[in-house]
Chains A and B, each alone.
Chain A
Amino acid sequence: SAVISQKPSRDICQRGTSLTIQCQVDSQVTMMFWYRQQPGQSLTLIATANQGSEATYESGFVIDKFPISRPNLTFSTLTVSNMSPEDSSIYLCSVESRGRPLNEQFFGPGTRLTVL
């Protein structure tokens, strides 16, 4: 299994500001993902963070709002830009530990974001 840490664990932010969330893995992984979990909802994939290239975004999510960096195989950041109260969610980083079709996903502890 992979051990994943996220920073910050939680934050309270003002409308219009931006927050960058960090995800660190204890081993090199090919696939890293960012998810959002809105209050009372299940997880929604925001994007796949690709090492050495731009992230691949899911429908409804755009790079200007959620820029992602993936400078190496153990680290990624997600920025939530120009925040509004609707962005209040738990943001989760995950990784696939093995190649497909054996892949198993592991999740970080999440970042709980509240936007006032």
Chain B
Amino acid sequence: KQEVTQIPAALSVPEGENLVLNCSFTDSAIYNLQWFRQDPGKGLTSLLLIQSSQREQTSGRLNASLDKSSGRSTLYIAASQPGDSATYLCAVLFQGGSEKLVFGKGTKLTVNP
């Protein structure tokens, strides 16, 4: 079964700290992996997309890595700010089967001023 797991479910850090969010997936046959941000009661904002052939992507203070062989991705947030507080979702587009985007349950991040 194709599954995506995110640990931890919640994380609270002081402002300015660097942090890492983790995502693991069960099948290495993927097209791509996306990280999203969701604010309470809102839709999803796409942060980074990593293609199957890529190892990492960067956007501003965000860096996402992909290790297909171990079924892992990390989202690194540098110099965290209170505005970074949100739920971060990892989603994987697996090859084969129904080829649909499979989401993790997310990590709820709180950055304290």
Contacts and interface: CB of A to CB of B under 8 A. Distances in A.
Interface of A: 1, 6, 33, 41-43, 45, 48, 58, 90, 92, 94, 100-110, 112
Contacts, number: 55
Given A42-B104, A112-B41, A105 B46 contact: yes
Interface of B: 31-32, 34, 36, 41-46, 49, 51-52, 89, 91, 93, 98-101, 103-106
A103 B32 contact: yes
Contacts of A92: 43-44
Contacts of B43: 6, 90, 92, 107-110
B46 A1 contact: yes
A52 B43 CA distance: 27
Contacts of A112: 41
Contacts of B103: 42-43
